Amino acid sequence: MDIGTALLIIVGIYLLVYIIAQAVGVDKLREKGLDVGTPFFVMWKTERLNAFLTKMGKKFPVAFFNLGVVVAFGGMFVGFWMFGENLLRFFFAPTTAGGIVPIIPGVTITGLPLVYMLIGLAITLIVHEFAHGLASSKDGIPIKGSGLVFFLVLFGGFVEPDEEIFETEASPMARMRLLAAGSYSNLIFALFFLAIIVYMGPLLSIGFNSPSGTYIYDIQAESPADGILQIGDVIIGLNDTEIQNWNNISVVMTESISNNSLTVHTLRGDFVIELAPNAANTTRGYIGIYGADFWEPKPGFEILTPMFAFHFQQVMTWTFIILFSVALFNLLPIPMLDGDKLLSNALSMKIKDEKKIKYIMWPARILSLTIIILSIALTFLTGKTLF
């Protein structure tokens, strides 16, 4: 099933749910915690989740959340450094600059990466929001509502601490613990998924032989490979070089010359492709494929197809990227993000004059927004988008 067909099925399910909700009664369902009054949007609130988060939050030591505040400010510094240093690269070393791309499903990320991204984003949102709930409970800030939310292809969780008590009764330190908890938990889970990625080989070797080629999971439109190679092809050689993994292809392509012919050996057959000039270096060849290591199942593990290994790798990688990226971005002092209130609350503990706090906050906000907006603009202007 292709992505387009899957999206049509999802849209059809949303419409069916909406029609049934209208027939049963939107208000009646809302009283039971199910909000389906808007097309393509479903929200489920449950008191059981409130009680669970409240109970679990009380079990965490306050030191855990205090450490989260320290980690959050460390993340704010690292975020400034990473985004700022990368922005400078656009001006002084453009080829080494990384792309900063907003996550817009179907626009900036398409194809199979969109599926992996959505899984990673769902994990990120659930971890982030539920962590807010745990910290809120620890400091006695009531949870007004919590549950799960679905919007088109997006899925995640939400937690609503009592905003009035948070703003008027909670101490600055309690507010900081709550604000830091989301990104703090995202970073903890990012480390967990990074460990899986680091030990990916030993984990997959349980049911698979070592990589024996490269699996193509996407092809750039109008590239040399478009119309010749296919998604799902397994490359086992380029010219006279045997290909065992994706890194082998990277090495060959860095030494290739544009407009030269390249013989691609696949499990489907051999194909000759004329390489186009690479955008970053016109003398280097460009083929236009995205791939990953190809793992062949061991005898007795045939149920774990090569696609399982590929999808597992991609889900783990994308989940780590999104957990880490969202955590650092959310900690920047930008209005509407946790980092903004986190910094202002920290300043209020040392500075009582609100005007002085604003004199610090607004330059930090402007600097953060400038870095992000310029990075996104330069990313698109230089063609460094993801897919």
Q: What are phi and psi of 228, to 5 degrees?
A: -110, -60
- What type of residue is 107? V
Domain ranges of the chain: 3-45, 51-137+163-201+315-381, 211-294
CATH tag, 211-294 = 2.30.42.10
Q: Which of 123-137, 140-154, 292-306, 373-387 has the lowest mean pLDDT?
A: 373-387
Calculate mean pLDDT across residues 351-372: 93
Least Cα distance to 290 among 163, 55, 112, 28 occurs for 112
Q: Is the pLDDT of residue 27 over 90?
A: no
pLDDT at 283: 85
CA distance 233 to 252: 18
CA 220 to chain centroid: 22
Q: How, if at all, do strands 214-219 and 234-238 pair?
A: antiparallel
pLDDT per residue as tens digits for the range 4-19: 677 778 788 888 888 8
Longest Cα–Cα distance of the chain, Å, equals: 73
CA distance 87 to 367: 12
Least Cα distance to 189 among 68, 332, 334 occurs for 68
> Number of C-alpha atoms within 13 angstroms, CB side, residue 195?
5
What pLDDT band is residue 332 in, cutting at 50, 70 and 90? very high
pLDDT per residue as tens digits for the range 30-55: 888 888 878 888 888 888 888 888 89
pLDDT per residue as tens digits for the range 228-258: 999 888 999 999 899 988 889 888 888 888 8
Percent of the chain at pLDDT > 90 equals: 42
Beta-bridge partners for 214: 235, 293
Map residue 139 onto helix, strand or coil. Answer: coil
CB neighbours of residue 252 within 10 Å: 17
pLDDT at 195: 97
pLDDT per residue as tens digits for the range 97-142: 888 877 766 666 767 777 888 899 899 999 999 999 999 999 999 8
Alpha helices in 106-171 (DSSP H): 111-138, 163-168
Least Cα distance to 218 among 277, 287, 126 occurs for 287
Q: By the 8 A CB rule, do 53 and 133 touch?
A: yes
pLDDT at 387: 46
CB neighbours of residue 213 within 10 Å: 26
Q: Which of 106-110, 181-185, 211-215, 319-323 has the lowest mean pLDDT?
A: 106-110
Tell me, yes or no, if the pTM score tops 0.85.
no
Q: By the 8 A CB rule, do 135 and 57 touch?
A: yes
- Evaluated on CA atoms 375, 378, 382, 385, the torsion sign reads positive
CA distance 215 to 60: 44
Distances (CA, A) of 107 to 82, 217, 376, 385: 25, 18, 14, 10
End-to-end CA distance of the chain: 20
CA distance 294 to 314: 12
Q: Is the pLDDT of residue 1 over 60?
A: no
Taking phi over 0 as left and psi of -120 to 50 as alpha, with beta for the rest, 152 belongs to left
DSSP code for 354: H
Indicate the average pLDDT of the chain.
88
